[in-house]
Amino acid sequence: MEVLNGKNIVVGITGSIAAYKAAILVRLLTCEKANVKVIMTPLAKQFITPLTMATLSKNPILVDFFNPENGEWNSHVSLGEWADAYLIAPATANTIGKMAGGIADNLLLTTYLSAKCPVFVSPAMDLDMFAHPTTQNNISRLISYGNHIIEPESGELASGLIGKGRMAEPATIVEYLKKYFSSKFTLEGKKIMVTAGGTIEPIDPVRYISNYSSGKMGIALAEELADRGADVTLIKASTSVPVKNGRIKIVDAVSAEKMYVASVNEFSKTDAAVMCAAVADYTPTAISNSKIKKNENEWSLSLKRTKDIAAELGKMKNNQLLVGFALETNDEETNALKKLKEKNLDFIVLNSLNDEGAGFGHDTNKIKIIYRDGTSVEYPLNTKKNLSKDIADAVERNLLNS
C-alpha cells in the first residue's frame, strides 16, 4: 500500500556522521512517491553535500533563512504548513537539546517551532551522549510535546564504541512513517497508564521480598498502545526486559508504596489504566537500616498489608477505563470475577499458572478476558507480543465506544 504517496515530507538533517544515511532515507521516501524537501543545518553540509540531497529529493536544499544570492526568503512558516510530516534524521544531541529548550537559531529549528504537522525525531549520537540524563530528559520533553522519537539502534558506532545511539536504519524510519500514515494511530490523543513488573519490598540493605514477574506482558502492552499513538506512561517496578518504544514515558516505582503514589498521581490525567504489575500484598512492617544478623533461633518477619492500587483507582474512577490482570492457580474464573467486581474494573485479563507456557517469565501466554457483564473471550496460547494486540483491541473498543 502506497501510504506515503503524495505526502509532503520535510526532512531535517543535522551535523552527524549518520547524515550519509539521510541520502538513502530521502531516496526511499521518493521511491514511495512522497514529496520531499530537505533542510540542512550549516554543519550537516560538512557531512553530506547539498548537491547529493538536492538531486535525491528533486528539490533545492534549504539551509539559510534567506538566499544570499537573491535575498529570497526561505519561509519556515510556509514550510511548516506545507509538510504532512517533519522528519529530523539524524537528530544530534545538540539539536534535540535546542528543540527541547525552544532555541531557534537555524532554519531547521524555526521550522520545528512553526510545524503544525507530526514531528518525527531520529536521534544519532555516541552511546554516552545518548545515555546522559540531559539527553534523556530532553527526549522525554520532546515526547511530552507530542513528538515521535524513532529509537536509535544498538551496535557499532562511528566512534568505534559499541552501544545504543546509532540512527535507526532508513528502511525502519520509512516503515515507522508508513505505520503512522496507515492510520494505525487509532489511540492518538488518548493518555494511558500501564503498571508493569514485580515490586520489591526491602527488608534490610541487602534483602527484599519480590516475585517472579518479568514485566514482559506489561511492557509488550505499553509498546502496543504507544504504537497505536496513545500517550503511554509506564509505571515500572522490577523488570527483566528493556522498553524499546521511545515514546513511552517511564516512571520508576519499585515498591508497592512507590507504585501506589505514582499511580494515584497519574490516574486523574489518564483515559485508561491497565494494571499489569505484580504488586506485593505485604511489605515488611519495618525496614532495618543495617544488615540483619543471624542467630541460632528461628526468625519471623513481621509484614503489613500494602495498598491495593487497582482497588484504590476503582474508587477514584470517573470515566476512565480500568483494566486489571489476574494470575491464578485455582478457581481461576471465580477469583478473577471477584477481583473484577471488588476493584471496580471494566475488564480483567485472566491467566492461569496451570496453563503450559503461560504466566511469569514466559514469552508466551494464554488469556481469557472477562467483562463486567460476565461475558468472556478466550485467546489461545500465543506470544505476549501478539496477545498485547488482543488486549489493546479490547482497550480500544471500550475506550472509543465509551
Q: How far is the CB of 307 from ligand CTP (least distance, A)?
A: 6
Task: Tell me the C-alpha distance between 254 and 197, whole Å.
Answer: 9
Return the number of the residue (174 or 194) whose C-beta is nearest ligand CTP. Answer: 194
Return the number of the residue (107 or 278) whose C-beta is nearest ligand CTP. Answer: 278
Q: How far is the CB of 311 from ligand CTP (least distance, A)?
A: 7
Q: How far is the CB of 199 from ligand CTP (least distance, A)?
A: 8
Q: Backbone phi, then psi, for 208, in 5-degree steps?
A: -155, 165
Per rule CB under 6 A, is residue 148 in the interface with ligand CTP? no
Interface pick for ligand CTP out of 126, 201, 231, 308 (rule CB under 6 A): 308
Per rule CB under 6 A, is residue 106 in the interface with ligand CTP? no
- Applying CB under 6 A, the site for ligand CTP has a residue count of 15
Rg (CA), the chain: 24
Interface pick for ligand CTP out of 115, 310, 322, 350 (rule CB under 6 A): 310
Return the number of the residue (13 or 322) whose C-beta is nearest ligand CTP. Answer: 322
Yes or no: say if 162 and 155 are a contact pair by the CB < 8 Å rule.
Answer: yes
Active site residue 74: no
At how many degrees (to 10) do helices 216-227 and 384-400 cross?
50
The number of residues in the chain equals 402
Q: How far is the CB of 251 from ligand CTP (least distance, A)?
A: 15
Single-letter residue type at 274:
V
Instruction: Tell which positions 326-345 bind ligand CTP, by CB under 6 A.
Output: 326-327, 339
Annotate 134-156 with b (16+ C-beta within 10 A) or e (fewer). ebeebbbebbeeebbbbbbeeee
Instruction: Tell which positions 194-233 bind ligand CTP, by CB under 6 A.
Output: 195
Give the binding range for ligand CTP (CB under 6 A) out of 29-37, 242-250, 273-281, 379-387. Answer: 273-281
Instruction: Tell which positions 279-298 bind ligand CTP, by CB under 6 A.
Output: 279, 281
Closest to 370 measured CA to CA, from 353, 387, 354, 394: 394
Return the number of the residue (330 or 375) whose C-beta is nearest ligand CTP. Answer: 330
Give the binding range for ligand CTP (CB under 6 A) out of 135-143, 185-193, 272-280, 382-390. Answer: 272-280
Per rule CB under 6 A, is residue 256 in the interface with ligand CTP? yes
Give the binding range for ligand CTP (CB under 6 A) out of 99-107, 237-245, 276-284, 314-322. Answer: 276-284
Catalytic residue among 8, 74, 94, 211: 211
Return the number of the residue (26 or 310) whose C-beta is nearest ligand CTP. Answer: 310
**Binding-site ranges for ligand CTP (CB under 6 A):** 195, 256, 275, 277, 279, 281, 306, 308-310, 324-327, 339
Instruction: Give catalytic residues, as residue numbers.
Output: 211
